[in-house]
Every structure is written in C-alpha cells, then in structure tokens.
Amino acid sequence: MTKRNKIIYWIATIWLSLGMVSTGAVQLFKGKEGAGGVESITHLGYPIYFLTILAIWKFLGVIIVLIPKFPLLKEWAYAGFFFAMSGAVISHIASGSAMNEVFPSLLLLALIVISWNFRPADRRITAVSQ
C-alpha cells in the first residue's frame, strides 16, 4: 500500500468514524435536532425506537472498522454503514427533505466507499485457495 493510499484511507476512516459516532450519540440520547435526531426520524416516518437500533449498530460498526484483523466483520460493518446511509439518502429524497438534510448522509456514504476502497490488504478478505 502506498503512503498516499494509506493517508486517504485513514483520513476517510477517521472522518467516517467521527460522523458515525456523533450521529449515533444524537440518536442514542434522542436529540431533538441534528442529523438523525428525533425530528428528522419522525419526519421520515420511522418510529423513535429505530434511533436506538441505529446508534448501537453505528457504535459497533465503528469499533469493528477501527480495530485490526476481523476482515469478514469489517465487510459486514461497511455493508451495514452503506445500507444505513443509502437508506437515509433515499428516505430524505422520498420525503421531500431539503438538500441540506440529505448532504450529511451523502457525505458519510462517500466516506464509506472511500474508506472501503482504500483499506489495507490486512483489512480485506483474501481469496481462499482450494
């Protein structure tokens, strides 16, 4: 892995992790405003208890993405992040949200793809020879 790719990976991964932890905290503590808060989730038509589920998944995903090894769990974490953020983007668009409400989910979605694409070899699933 080149030094450039390593820098891209860590910047994207740290920014992604901070975004997931901060939105997860808002969701866990049922913040009224902000990305993924109570107002946002009810506007999208989801029940409030969904916030707790999302928050726990985000926290666990961040832990898995940041710790070394466990490449299969990392794939699942990235997939879960991708599904959650693409679902958020689609939900906001379908409910007629303003672009400034869609942008945080789009940004996190881009960071997920960048982090996943630039991850080091030891964080990838390798082909099993038979």
What is the per-residue pLDDT across 77-100, written as a single tens digit (0 to 9) for each?
Answer: 999 999 999 999 999 999 998 999
Stated pTM of the model? 0.90
- How confident is the model at residue 34, as a pLDDT? 63
**Biggest alpha carbon–alpha carbon distance for the chain:** 53
For 83, the 3-state DSSP assignment is helix
In tens, the pLDDT along 29-67 reads 987 766 668 888 888 889 999 999 999 999 999 999 999
Mean pLDDT of the chain: 91
Asked if the model's pLDDT at residue 129 lies above 50, the reply is: no
Distance CA 26, CA 20 (A): 10
Distance CA 109, CA 68 (A): 22
Q: Confirm if 85 and 19 have CB atoms less than 8 A apart.
A: no
